[in-house]
Every structure is written in C-alpha cells, then in structure tokens.
Chains A and B, each alone.
Chain A
Amino acid sequence: MTGALRTTLALVLLTVGSLTVELAFAIDSAPAFGDPAMQARYERLVEELRCLVCQNQTIADSDAPLAQDLRAQVREMMGDGASDEQIMAFMTERYGDFVRYRPAFSPRTYAVWLGPFLLLAIGLGVVARVVMRRAAMPFDDGDETPPTDEGGRAA
C-alpha cells in the first residue's frame, strides 16, 4: 500500500517536474534554425544577452516583448551571416556593457572579476595568521594558568 502510494507520488512529482522543464523551454517553441550548429550558436548567444527590462534574466529566459525583439534581432543578424562578435558589438553599442550577461574583462570590471579572489586571499591570509599564532603557542595551554609566583612577588 505505502509502496504504491510512494510510486504514485513519485510519478506525480516527475510529471510536475517535467512540466516545469517544458515551460522553461517554451519561449521559442520551434527551433529558430534548421541547422543544429546554427541553433546551438543561437542558443548560446541569447544566453549571453541580458533582458534589460527584467535585468536578472537573459533574453533566452525572458518573455518580455523587448526580449522577443532582441531574439528576433539576433536571428536576423545570424541569418545575414553576422559573427558572434558582430552581434555582441551591435548590442553593446546600443545598450551598453550591461547588456552582456557576463561582464567583459576590462578595467571597468576588474573589481567584479578579481574582487572575489582578492577577498579570498585576504580571508586565507587571516586564517593563516591565526593558525600560525595558535601553532606558536605552548601545547599545554600554559597561558591559561595564572602565573601565581610572579603575581605573589608583585604583591
């Protein structure tokens, strides 16, 4: 009985799961290009471009009218034989660097790309210092017992 219940539940979850996956890919229901290589290029490009209305989505994820228009623009330019670089340049000339979902590596974005490594280095440095200081301490926690004889002399 419980086994059957569990199986039903698993089936329901699987169905719901596959439905959501289905929905996530429903934006361009038909592939844009017959040629699989072109389609792969197209899917990669639209993952690289930010939807400026919804900002934290790529134009592949978003169904905002602007995202639809920009996807159409990408398809059109690819159809005209534009290279990936030309398409990215077209977008940044109009919408600025922000349209790139992954920021370019340039002096303006050094902090974004290198900042985390800098913070990690600082963190490791602090940890190393603490560890080294602990290692230099006497093993028997001698510093915790009060120096009775010295205290006696002072008093």
Chain B
Amino acid sequence: MRAFVPAFLFMVLVLFFWAGLSLKPSEIPSPLIGKPAPAFALPELREPERVISNDTLAGEVSLLNVWATWCFACRQEHETLLAIARSGEVAVYGLNYKDERGAAQDWLAQLGDPYAANAFDEFGKAAIDFGVYGAPETFLIDAQGVVRHKHIGPLDMRIWTEELLPMIRSAKEESGS
C-alpha cells in the first residue's frame, strides 16, 4: 500500500502538468458573454458624420471585429474576413481601434473592405467597454444585441467553419430569422 504513494503523487503531478499544457493564459475569458453588448456610439470610419452604435448592429446576427492598421495579425486574418463577408452568413462590422483615419481608409482601399460599416474608436474608449486588450478580437453579437462569443486573436477558415459558423446558425435559429 505504501509503495503506491509515490506513484500516486507522480500521477497527480502528471495530471496537473498535462492540464497546464493545454491552458492558454493569453486568452482571458470575457465576462460579457451572455450579456448585452456595451453601449457605444462612434463616428463611422469613412463617413465621420454617420454614427455607428448598438442600433446599427441590432436586428441581425453580426460579427464585430476589432482591428487596426498597426496590428500585424489583423493583416493575417483579413482574407478570412473577406471570405466571411462574401459568404453572406453574417453581417461583419469593424471596430477600428486606436488607429489613424487615413491609414485605415487606405488599408481598406488596398486590401478590400469586408465591413458593412466601421466604428472609428480613436481613443479606445469603446474598446475598454468591450474588454478589448489587444487586436484582433472578434465578438459574435446576436439579433437582440447579446454577446454570444468572443474570439481572441486572428480568425482563420478553420475557426470560421468549426467554431463561428455553428454558433451563428444557432443564433439565427433562435431569433427566427
């Protein structure tokens, strides 16, 4: 019986190390999931007189993608965003985070524009309300304006088909659209 004690302790250690290997400390779970999206009202990136707010997104399932031209990983995920926009499955909105208006406009002109509209968050105040701590981040918001999911880091086609699309479809079914 005593002989098993070290073996047992070793197993416990192995379990802890095993679990530790699959932790992603850089992905901090958002406390916003299941809650109404924070209220925001910001100028549009290309039409500064137009206001983008929760009302803009309301009524349909949408993705709110936090991006900036200074963000390398945003460049990486741009093709995926274009493909998502082309699929027509979901409305894609942008939250342009602490960027320069001109640079952001040039970026969209050069690389293509997947966004139905872009909220221009020059000082990152709305981003703080959304708990953004880096770019890119992508929020899935349902037709009632409730945050369903937050993806931290760049999107790719695998994340789109395996994670986002099923959630988008169930969100659409629930809201009956």
Across the interface, which residues of B come within 8 angstroms of A93, CB to CB? 31
Q: Are B134 and A95 in contact (CB under 8 A)?
A: no
Residues of chain B with a CB closer than 8 A to A52's CB: 28, 133-134
**Interface readout for A83-104 with B: 1 if CB under 8 Å, 0 if not?**
0000000001111111000000
Across the interface, which residues of B come within 8 angstroms of A96, CB to CB? Answer: 28-31, 131
Q: Are B128's CB and A94's CB within 8 A?
A: yes
A53 to B25, CA, bound (A): 11
Q: Is the interface of A mostly helix, strand, loop or mixed?
A: helix
Instruction: Report if B106 contacts A (CB, 8 A).
Output: no
- Give the residues in chain B near A94, CB-CB below 8 Å: 31-32, 38, 128-131
Is chain B's binding surface mostly helix, strand, loop or mixed?
loop
In the assembled complex, the Cα of A92 lies from the Cα of B123 at a distance in Å of: 20
In the complex, the answer to whether A92 meets B31 with C-beta atoms within 8 Å is yes
Q: Give A95 to B30 CA distance when docked, in angstroms.
A: 6
Out of A69, A97, A98, name the residue touching B124 (CB < 8 Å): A69
**Minimal Cβ-Cβ distance residue in B for A76:** B125
The verdict on B151 contacting chain A, using a C-beta distance below 8 Å, is: no
Rounded to whole Å, the gap between the CB of A118 and the closest CB of chain B is 14
Which of B26, B123, B131 lies in contact with A95, CB distance below 8 A? B131
A95 and B98 form a contact (CB under 8 A): no
Q: In the complex the two chains form, is A70's CB within 8 Å of B128's CB? A: yes
Contact with A along B68-108 (1 / 0, CB 8 A): 00000000000000000000000000000010000000000
A55–B26 Cα distance when bound, in Å, is: 8
In the bound complex, what is the Cα–Cα distance between A65 and B124 (angstroms)? 10
Residue-wise interface mask of B (102-135) relative to A, using a CB-CB cutoff of 8 A (1 in contact, 0 not): 0000000000000000000001100011110110
- Assess the A65–B133 pair: CB atoms within 8 A: no
Q: Are B98 and A53 in contact (CB under 8 A)?
A: no
Residue from the set B25, B26, B128 with the largest chain A CB neighbour count within 10 Å: B128
Cβ contact of B134, chosen from A53, A70, A73, A98, cutoff 8 A: A53
Contacts of A98 in B (CB 8 A): 28
With A and B bound together, what is the CA distance between A155 and B144 in angstroms? 89
Q: When A and B form their complex, which 3 residue pairs have the shortest distance between CB atoms, in order from nearest?
A: A52-B133, A94-B131, A96-B31
Contacts from A to B (Cβ < 8 Å): 52-53, 55, 65-66, 69-70, 73, 92-98
A-B contact pairs, 7 of them (CB 8 A): A55-B26, A65-B98, A69-B123, A69-B124, A94-B38, A96-B31, A98-B28
